[in-house]
Amino acid sequence: MLAVLDPLASLKVLDFSRVVAGPFATRMLADLGADVVKVEPPDGDLTRLWGAKTANLSGFYTQQNVGKRNISVDLKAEGAAALMLRLGAEADIVVENYRPGVMGQFGLGYEAFAAVNPTVVMLSISGFGQNSSWSQRAAYAPIIHAESGLLGRQARFDQNSPIDPMLSIADTNAALHGLVAVLAALRLRDQEGVGQHIDMAMLNAMTVTDDYAHHALDQMPTRRLGGTVWATSEGHILTAGNEQSQWFQLSRSGAVSDGLGPDASVEDKIAVRHQVITDWYKSFPSTEQLVKALDAANVAWAEIREPEEVFTTEAAAQRRLSVEVDDRAGSTRRVVQSPYHFSNARSEVRGWAPFRGEHNQVVMTDWLGMIESEVAQLAAAGVLLEEEPGEDG
């Protein structure tokens, strides 16, 4: 029997990122087996404040940082940049999502890392790219959602005021496209022996992932291709496709008929068919009976679930949507599991969420061979910091 493999087990990742885009990318690297060391500033990652806390570890921070090791570094302290470059000399990958230019101000730009490690792959995620005229704008996911046209288009279809979705789409798009670029750069490094600096703008990631972008580029009206929500006798159900495609599928299967003659106007067809299909969805006394009819007509459907219900379904268990991890307080808590299912390799949460500076000693020993007294000197100099595990807050 073949041993199960860890795809990225030999890789070392130095992770300066915070909040979502960078941490999500490095969480996936950790799930795939890389040794990810999160470099956290003295005031901590902002996401430590978001969500339910256990052992003073928030749900948001836990979700994005399980399986990583953590060192806490004051990058403004004398000797901090030199220490980070020593770690960078050992790293395969460096990830950061500060505003463009900030890493350079610390003496930790790509050129500095490349000088000590010519084959390093550095991923820099920002809102608008490293050198654009908008590069210095503060850019969180909602900013990119607005600037990329997502909110304007949705408001147009909803015929309502723009509203931001409760999902950091721009962050996760940039993270996943950043991962693709990193893995491509590593392949090139292994073939040619050269490193890369990857400039990943959230704006680019959003537009290239937008399957409606061609309408804007061609300056033509946008036709909605997504799902449609229908009222039923027991609530609501979503089906794939717009109303026109729904009519085609249901009428072809004999489920509905408009009763109109061949000379009926387009306007009459639209109005009558809308009413017929609306009434059809409401005609079933139960969702179970409606679903059977939709399956018979080969219509793709979905229940509109509450978020808490998603993780309790049969499919959730079969696909391992969540996993229990140590909550650092004597029990466990659930986090989302890695989505990658290989035939003979592992991708999964590798451990708990770390406290700030929890792995100062072990990382300095593993990566740099430092003894305890050397690490203690760095702590005394204010370069390395460590929090005391706190009570729930």
The residues carrying an active-site annotation are 171
Q: How far apart are CA 287 and CA 300, in angstroms?
A: 14
Tell me how far apart the alpha carbons of residues 325 and 346 are, in angstroms, rounded to a whole number.
Answer: 17
Find, among 356, 390, 354, the residue nearest to 68 by Cα.
Answer: 354
Strand partners, 57: 54
Burial tier of 331 (Cβ tally within 10 Å: 0-12, 13-18, 19+): exposed
Identify the three-state secondary structure at position 383: coil
End-to-end CA distance of the chain: 48
For tokens 């018979």, name the residue: 296
DSSP 166-181: SS-HHHHHHHHHHHHH
Q: Determine contact, residues 145/161, Cβ cutoff 8 Å.
A: no
| Residue 206 one-letter amino acid | M
Distance (Å, rounded) from C-alpha 70 to C-alpha 280? 57
What is the distance of C-alpha 19 from the center of its chain?
A: 11
CA angle centred on 192, ends 188 and 196, rounded to 5° = 50
* Distance in angstroms (rounded) separating the CA atoms of residues 245 and 299: 10
Which of 76, 24, 30, 28 minimizes the C-alpha distance to 45? 24
Q: What angle do CA 340, 341, 346 make, to 5 degrees?
A: 85
Secondary structure element (H or E) that encloses residue 128, with its range: none
